[in-house]
Chains A and B, each alone.
Chain A
């Protein structure tokens, strides 16, 4: 909301991470979103997550499409490269970037319009490739920049400010992600930073495609009494199925967990995700059951959150295709050009 660039104040008391950086070093330019926008809370959680992970900025590439959500890649990690591409096409640009630089950490920020409407095709196919990235959907059910039309993620019967009811059933990012075979599916709420930060960290650490849907109320166009994506509605129907604790590779697991309730998932980079289940029967490694659980919850009007599904056995795009471990974008000409003798040899077949 601030239109004046204020000097960055780094207070001496601010904690520093392993790189000697404060949380402020992970910020971007000032937000231009509406005051109270859920997206700004998510940005704050992203900043916190990168800081806690001791992530060097040059390790990160920030990717986005078009919309309020997609603007937010400017609001964190100024020191990282980023591409704000075209509407609904962030997945393809990220796929190409990842093809060239598999060594970088990709965070893609999208919205429900960018992902579930114009970008549904690319959303489905980036999942199919299990591209190694964290894909966040900042989900508010409306188009903000064009002033309040429903998106494809809007709930049936949810009403606009003027009282117009949505006639179409929603395309839910979480159920779509599960159905498309995503290897990491989670949902959170912008108003619950305590849950959101570990989910972002887990998603960034997951090897493969991590989908994180975040309910993020639009204060201007979709925060009224008849909206199902408002702060009030989300708080009332918010149902954390699983609490997630993220433990980086260097740290020991110190907390005590009750048997059967906690599940320790070791990620490929050595970090751990401890999943504390609210519902004892919930199994986040069983895609079918996760899907059924979500369907039932949806019938009850609940917004289920947490790390809902994880599968670490799928190889990512490069593992499947056998790409060189050295990033293709860093290869020298000598490693790529076969030279004149080989050219002569190859042409024998055309004589």
Chain B
């Protein structure tokens, strides 16, 4: 239902035509008018010529998930016109370029169709062929400004900022916006029922994507060595790390860089570099995606067994195999939890928005140094590459990195002998040293069986001793990782929703919508693996647990079944794995369907 400050605009474009910046402009303008907004980019694995969509959800309540509705469709792509038309919700509006009339295609009478001769207007106004294409985008931005009641001063301000370094382009862009604006004012009834009224609900917030925020977290955590192999959708994370490092980590006098970014020849090498750098005492990380984790698996087992810290960001995309590289999914959970052959298990952190990407990036380095083991941060394309509205990132200047149990030369001077894998504190975590220090602290890292003294062994007892101690460390990890976020329903409930990561926004909204219908559900978002006592307790306290996740095989449900005491028949699934970010309606529908089966008292 179209309402003020509560609707969805979907823009259907051809990729490579400059539409992304125009669409971003509309979203940013709404944000600057104080109205909560979120954007989802649904793009092809291609550079130019294929269909691409951008969805802007305006939500005065501040909901961040997709709604599943389209109130205003801007149909700029002839290839997809018919399906875009079909997708408009009843009562909605479709805006299209009427330079090429489409009367015959327009078969719906339950929506309002508005045609603007965008291409003709731009061809008449602009000389340069490339400008004619780019300015068409700006012209529909102008039409939307009139139809949605966008503040023209805000738009002008954004254009001036965007072209600050190419000032001569400002005039043409503003001219194109005005072209569309005036056409709409003269020919349509403006504004539409779906329009923007200024609010003050975005103060103290930023619009940022998770990859940028995670990269910033790496800078703040003191990471110095970044090694990577380009892979969608993780690539923008290293771009951001480079950009922030160049802004903040280059010595003004000497020009020396307090960071080292290495583009590796493949993911096998990237993870090897990260292991080498962490072993040598730097904080080092790699961003990647599912196929990269597959390649890194051998080394992940090495780091687990040799107990070398490292931080890996897995920006998940739709698998299996190459899958859909530009679509989102949460289908690497089991892969990451147990990556590598033999008995291995890894600590995972699962952020639900860009702000948590920033916080968890810092946490990941501390946990990794503390636990001397790989930490994988499981983000996904939806969080990583889409702009989310989040409260401003905060930094405590009293923060000091937790480098864990590292013996300095002074510490070594006090001990008679150093052995790498002796658990003197009983928490499963042993002391390490960095190369370049006192020879007393020298030890030999190996992925082959070793005893607690660090020496090669084929003795069954000595081998088991180390393997069992790693489980003690695993128990320690349960206490150190971030606990779940739990929200109790207004009315007591024995039924609960459990989710993770980017599923949270849709689940939160679905819970509110269901509560309004009298269905009260408790809510838990797991934020880490291994699961701690809080997770166990929550599962114990509920009879029916609906696990909402974005993969086909119910991987979170599987992990909960395997790694907690919960009985299998308590767990039910809502699975969403079409590659689109999860929308709240699917969750509502899934819960209602489950309840309608009458299993819940």
Question: What is the interface of chain A, defined by CB distance below 8 A to chain B?
Answer: 29, 56-59, 61-62, 73-74, 78-86, 89, 91-101, 103-104, 121-122, 124-125, 129, 317-318, 321-325, 327-331, 333, 335-340, 342-344, 346-347, 350-351
Query: Which B403-444 residues have C-beta < 8 A from chain A?
Result: 433-439, 442-444
Are B397 and A328 interface neighbours, CB within 8 A?
A: no
Are A335 and B244 interface neighbours, CB within 8 A?
A: no
Say how far B413's CB is from chain A's closest CB, in angstroms: 14
Q: Is B272 an interface residue (CB 8 A)?
A: yes
B210-231 vs A, Cβ < 8 Å mask (1 yes, 0 no): 0010001001111011010000
Say how far B83's CB is from chain A's closest CB, in angstroms: 33
Q: Is B518 an interface residue (CB 8 A)?
A: no
Other A-B contacts than A96-B276, A339-B395, 20 sampled, CB-CB below 8 A, are A56-B439, A61-B280, A79-B442, A81-B443, A81-B445, A85-B272, A85-B275, A92-B273, A93-B279, A96-B278, A96-B279, A97-B276, A101-B434, A125-B265, A317-B262, A322-B257, A323-B256, A328-B260, A329-B277, A351-B207
Are B256 and A96 interface neighbours, CB within 8 A?
A: no
CB < 8 Å neighbour of B447 from A58, A62, A85, A318: A85
Q: Is B200 an interface residue (CB 8 A)?
A: no
Measured in the bound complex, the distance between the Cα atoms of B421 and A298 in whole Å is: 49
Measured in the bound complex, the distance between the Cα atoms of B273 and A74 in whole Å is: 21
Measured in the bound complex, the distance between the Cα atoms of B245 and A328 in whole Å is: 13
Q: Is B394 an interface residue (CB 8 A)?
A: yes
Are A99 and B262 interface neighbours, CB within 8 A?
A: yes
Q: Is B298 an interface residue (CB 8 A)?
A: yes
Measured in the bound complex, the distance between the Cα atoms of B272 and A272 in whole Å is: 34
When distances are taken between beta carbons in the complex, the residues of chain B under 8 Å from A318 are 260
When distances are taken between beta carbons in the complex, the residues of chain B under 8 Å from A97 are 276-277, 279-280, 435
Residue of chain A at shortest CB distance from B204 = A351
Residue of chain A at shortest CB distance from B400 = A333
CB < 8 Å neighbour of A331 from B258, B394, B445: B258
Q: A346-B244, A350-B206 are in contact. Are A96 and B446 (CB under 8 A)?
A: no
Measured in the bound complex, the distance between the Cα atoms of B504 and A194 in whole Å is: 69
Measured in the bound complex, the distance between the Cα atoms of B401 and A333 in whole Å is: 7
Q: Is B264 an interface residue (CB 8 A)?
A: yes
Residue of chain B at shortest CB distance from A28 = B444
Residue of chain A at shortest CB distance from B275 = A93
Are A58 and B436 interface neighbours, CB within 8 A?
A: yes
When distances are taken between beta carbons in the complex, the residues of chain A under 8 Å from B221 are 337
Q: Is B255 an interface residue (CB 8 A)?
A: yes
When distances are taken between beta carbons in the complex, the residues of chain B under 8 Å from A331 are 222, 224, 258
Are A94 and B224 interface neighbours, CB within 8 A?
A: no
Are A100 and B269 interface neighbours, CB within 8 A?
A: no
Are B220 and A338 interface neighbours, CB within 8 A?
A: yes
When distances are taken between beta carbons in the complex, the residues of chain B under 8 Å from A350 are 206-208, 212
Are B436 and A323 interface neighbours, CB within 8 A?
A: no
Q: A333-B400, A343-B220 are in contact. Are A100 and B265 (CB under 8 A)?
A: no
Question: What is the interface of chain B, defined by CB distance below 8 A to chain A?
Answer: 32, 206-208, 212, 216, 219-222, 224-225, 227, 244, 247-249, 251, 255-262, 264-266, 268-282, 284, 298-299, 302, 306, 392-397, 399-401, 433-439, 442-448, 455-456
Q: List the count of A-B residue pairs having beta carbons below 8 Å apart.
A: 229
Measured in the bound complex, the distance between the Cα atoms of B456 and A325 in whole Å is: 36
Are A95 and B273 interface neighbours, CB within 8 A?
A: yes
CB < 8 Å neighbour of A84 from B262, B438, B444: B444
When distances are taken between beta carbons in the complex, the residues of chain A under 8 Å from B247 are 346
When distances are taken between beta carbons in the complex, the residues of chain A under 8 Å from B271 are 92
Are A86 and B299 interface neighbours, CB within 8 A?
A: yes
When distances are taken between beta carbons in the complex, the residues of chain A under 8 Å from B443 are 81
Are B447 and A86 interface neighbours, CB within 8 A?
A: yes
Measured in the bound complex, the distance between the Cα atoms of B438 and A82 in whole Å is: 14
Residue of chain B at shortest CB distance from A342 = B248
Are B435 and A338 interface neighbours, CB within 8 A?
A: no
Measured in the bound complex, the distance between the Cα atoms of B247 and A129 in whole Å is: 25
Residue of chain B at shortest CB distance from A73 = B444
When distances are taken between beta carbons in the complex, the residues of chain B under 8 Å from A351 are 32, 206-207
Measured in the bound complex, the distance between the Cα atoms of B455 and A78 in whole Å is: 12
Residue of chain A at shortest CB distance from B274 = A96
Say how far A80's CB is from chain B's closest CB, in angstroms: 6
Are B277 and A58 interface neighbours, CB within 8 A?
A: no
Q: Would you give 27 A-B contacts (Cβ < 8 Å), ordered by A?
A: A57-B439, A58-B435, A58-B436, A58-B442, A61-B436, A62-B444, A80-B439, A81-B444, A83-B445, A85-B302, A85-B445, A92-B276, A93-B279, A94-B276, A95-B273, A99-B224, A99-B273, A99-B282, A129-B262, A321-B257, A324-B256, A328-B224, A335-B258, A336-B222, A339-B397, A340-B397, A347-B393
Q: A122-B265, A322-B257, A328-B258 are in contact. Are A96 and B272 (CB under 8 A)?
A: yes
When distances are taken between beta carbons in the complex, the residues of chain A under 8 Å from B445 are 81-85
Are A328 and B438 interface neighbours, CB within 8 A?
A: no
Residue of chain A at shortest CB distance from B212 = A350
Measured in the bound complex, the distance between the Cα atoms of B264 and A347 in whole Å is: 30
CB < 8 Å neighbour of A347 from B275, B298, B392: B392
When distances are taken between beta carbons in the complex, the residues of chain A under 8 Å from B248 are 338, 342, 346
Measured in the bound complex, the distance between the Cα atoms of B265 and A124 in whole Å is: 10
Are A121 and B393 interface neighbours, CB within 8 A?
A: no
Measured in the bound complex, the distance between the Cα atoms of B400 and A335 in whole Å is: 12
Which residue, A85, A101, A122, has most C-beta atoms of chain B within 10 A?
A: A85
CB < 8 Å neighbour of B259 from A57, A328, A329: A328
CB < 8 Å neighbour of A340 from B251, B258, B395: B395
Residue of chain A at shortest CB distance from B308 = A83
Measured in the bound complex, the distance between the Cα atoms of B251 and A233 in whole Å is: 57
When distances are taken between beta carbons in the complex, the residues of chain A under 8 Å from B273 are 92-93, 95-96, 99
When distances are taken between beta carbons in the complex, the residues of chain B under 8 Å from A81 are 433-436, 442-445
Residue of chain B at shortest CB distance from A129 = B262
Residue of chain B at shortest CB distance from A351 = B206
Which residue, B244, B247, B273, B302, has most C-beta atoms of chain A within 10 A?
A: B273
Say how far B293's CB is from chain A's closest CB, in angstroms: 16
Residue of chain B at shortest CB distance from A103 = B436
CB < 8 Å neighbour of B255 from A57, A83, A91, A322: A322
Which residue, B299, B396, B439, has most C-beta atoms of chain A within 10 A?
A: B439
When distances are taken between beta carbons in the complex, the residues of chain B under 8 Å from A340 are 394-397
CB < 8 Å neighbour of B281 from A29, A73, A100: A100
Measured in the bound complex, the distance between the Cα atoms of B392 and A344 in whole Å is: 8
CB < 8 Å neighbour of B280 from A58, A96, A129: A96
Are B272 and A92 interface neighbours, CB within 8 A?
A: yes
Say how far A214's CB is from chain B's closest CB, in angstroms: 22
Residue of chain B at shortest CB distance from A343 = B395
Measured in the bound complex, the distance between the Cα atoms of B409 and A330 in whole Å is: 13
When distances are taken between beta carbons in the complex, the residues of chain A under 8 Å from B222 are 331, 333, 336-337
Are A125 and B280 interface neighbours, CB within 8 A?
A: no
CB < 8 Å neighbour of B302 from A86, A96, A122, A337: A86
Residue of chain A at shortest CB distance from B221 = A337
Are B260 and A101 interface neighbours, CB within 8 A?
A: no
Are A324 and B257 interface neighbours, CB within 8 A?
A: yes
Are A328 and B225 interface neighbours, CB within 8 A?
A: yes
When distances are taken between beta carbons in the complex, the residues of chain B under 8 Å from A82 are 442, 444-445
Are A99 and B442 interface neighbours, CB within 8 A?
A: no
Are B282 and A328 interface neighbours, CB within 8 A?
A: yes
Q: A57-B442, A336-B222 are in contact. Are A86 and B256 (CB under 8 A)?
A: no
Say how far B400's CB is from chain A's closest CB, in angstroms: 6
Measured in the bound complex, the distance between the Cα atoms of B249 and A338 in whole Å is: 8
Are A101 and B266 interface neighbours, CB within 8 A?
A: no
Measured in the bound complex, the distance between the Cα atoms of B447 and A83 in whole Å is: 9
Are B277 and A96 interface neighbours, CB within 8 A?
A: yes
Measured in the bound complex, the distance between the Cα atoms of B445 and A61 in whole Å is: 11
When distances are taken between beta carbons in the complex, the residues of chain A under 8 Å from B270 are 92
Measured in the bound complex, the distance between the Cα atoms of B268 and A85 in whole Å is: 12
Say how far B258's CB is from chain A's closest CB, in angstroms: 5
Q: A92-B269, A347-B392 are in contact. Are A100 and B439 (CB under 8 A)?
A: no
Are B395 and A86 interface neighbours, CB within 8 A?
A: no
Measured in the bound complex, the distance between the Cα atoms of B446 and A62 in whole Å is: 12
When distances are taken between beta carbons in the complex, the residues of chain A under 8 Å from B400 are 333
Measured in the bound complex, the distance between the Cα atoms of B447 and A79 in whole Å is: 20
Are B220 and A121 interface neighbours, CB within 8 A?
A: no
